Chain A
Amino acid sequence: MRERDASPESPMLQRATELLREIPDVRAEWRAALNARIRQPSFNVRVKARDRSTLRPFAAIAAALVFAGVGIGAALAVRAPGQTTENGLSRTRFAFVAPSASQVSIVGDFNQWNPAAFPLRRSADGRTWVIEVSLRSGRHVYAFVVDGKVARDPTAAEGEDDGLGMPNSVVVVQGT
């Protein structure tokens, strides 16, 4: 069964790709810096072709925008040890740190990705959102929804990229 060969199909994307193929100039200073580095006998000293000591302004602005707009997130999926319900389900605790969020929920293959189904509650510290979910043993795919935006669990295993946006988080529930 042959897979079709992927090519830019639209004329605009084809033209844009041609522009990407343009060869940049190789600066003489860069070339000289590489030569100098190669001449050094036995240790790795990067010879800078230009001064890079100042922080590039866009990186700082971008970080500030993301920080303000989305908030800090960190999550932990912890299995509540030794607790199994009668149906062979295990209580699994999820936590997400988002002090500035208004609402956080968890979505995944255990609730048909319904953001209204499993809202997290804010814990006593005011910063952490938590929930315990009864899950069958085995692999589950999930994500958090933080004020309407889908977010991955940065501490969990990462799923594959299948073209729908941010890859999901994956947990394997043990049970007994």
Chain B
Amino acid sequence: MRHLIIGLALVARAASAQMQPAESFAGRLSPDARVALQRLVDSARAAGIPAAPLQNKIAEGALKGADERRIIAAVQSLIQRLADAQRILGPRSRDTDGYGLLGATASALQAGVAPGIIQSLVALDSTQRSDPRPLVGALVTVVDLIAKHIPASAAGMSVADLLRRRATEDELVAFRADIARDITAGATPDIALATRMRAYMQALDANRSIDRRPPGGRASPPGAL
């Protein structure tokens, strides 16, 4: 990563960079930080990485009152993740990024999902459908499971199993909600995952509706997702 950042900095010096701080972060950051961040954004853009996610990250950091060094580190890290995501997605990263697929992939890499697992998810989706939204939903689900302390490999493989069975985005939303509810009710993350995976895979294999009752058979409260 250090080599990539040095490379980008050299590109920034060579290029005629436009020093136009984005309105979203002007005034919240010091002049030095704004210059450094603008150089990073310009360098990344020159390297084919979209600027919008970077500008959003800067604005997010400024809003949260993060230390400027952390904002710079977060943007550097995001540049690296977006570059990695572009390599993993290949041509799909440009075709479909209106749906946030590039950001979802970068997010999964940041959360610790191995590139090989992401590649298998991409391969599963490519062979089955052209709409990228199930793949986006799958990546969002993996990151959410990791946030709930499910190991990255287990999260990735479970979601791959659901994607292989053509789970829809609504089913992935329900899956996330069911696991969250089970953990809140006291289940450990690994038990919650195992229990719900059994139910969802059986239902998807049988092409029938999914029993979303909590373990023990109590009905979900009305209005639950």
Tell whether any CB of A sits under 8 Å from a CB of B in the complex.
yes
- CB distance B64 to A164 under 8 Å? yes
Q: How far is the CA of A2 from the CA of B101 in the complex (A)?
A: 27
Give complex CA distance A115, B28 in Å: 13
| B184 nearest in chain A by CB position | A154
User: For chain B residues 111-152, which have a beta carbon within 8 Å of chain A?
Assistant: 111, 132-133, 136-137, 139-141, 143-144, 146-148
The 8 A CB mask of A122-160 against B (1 = contact, 0 = none) is 000000000000001111110001000010000101111
Interface residue total, chain A, C-beta cutoff 8 A: 34
A138 touches B136 (CB 8 A): yes
Check B110 against A112 for contact (C-beta < 8 Å). Answer: no
Q: Complex: how many Å from CA A136 to CA B132? A: 13
In the complex the two chains form, is A113's CB within 8 Å of B60's CB?
yes
Given known pairs A1-B2, A139-B99, the reply for A113 and B56 (CB within 8 Å) is: yes
Task: List the one stretch of A39-47, A57-65, A167-175 in contact with chain B.
Answer: A167-175
A29 at the interface (CB under 8 A from B): no
Q: Which residue of A lies closest to B65 (CB)?
A: A165
Report the bound CA distance from A170 to B132 in whole Å: 17
**B77 and chain A: residue at smallest CB distance:** A162
Q: Does B194 contact A (CB under 8 A)?
A: no
Task: Say whether, besides A3-B1, A157-B143, A160-B143, A150 and B70 are in contact (CB < 8 Å).
Answer: no
Given A1-B4, A109-B56, are A158 and B148 neighbors across the interface (CB < 8 Å)? Answer: yes
The answer to whether A150 touches B100 (Cβ under 8 A) is no
Knowing A113-B60, A170-B140, A172-B133, the reply to whether A163 touches B70 (Cβ < 8 A) is yes
Cα distance A26–B88 when bound, in Å?
A: 50
Q: Check B98 for interface membership: any CB of A closer than 8 A.
A: yes
Residues of B within 8 A of A27 (CB): none
Residues of A within 8 A of B101 (CB): 138-139
* B residues 45-100 touching A (CB-CB < 8 Å): 52-53, 55-57, 59-66, 70-71, 73-74, 77-78, 98-100
Q: Which residue of B lies closest to A3 (CB)?
A: B1
- Verify B24–A139 contact, CB threshold 8 A: no
Q: Does B143 lie within 8 Å of A164, measured CB to CB?
A: no
Nearest 10 pairs of A and B residues by beta carbon: A138-B99, A139-B100, A158-B147, A157-B144, A113-B59, A112-B24, A160-B111, A138-B100, A160-B110, A165-B64
A residues sitting closer than 8 Å to B (CB atoms) are: 1-4, 107, 109, 112-115, 136-141, 145, 150, 155, 157-168, 170, 172, 174
| 7 CB-based A-B contacts, threshold 8 Å | A114-B24, A139-B139, A141-B56, A141-B103, A157-B141, A161-B111, A163-B70
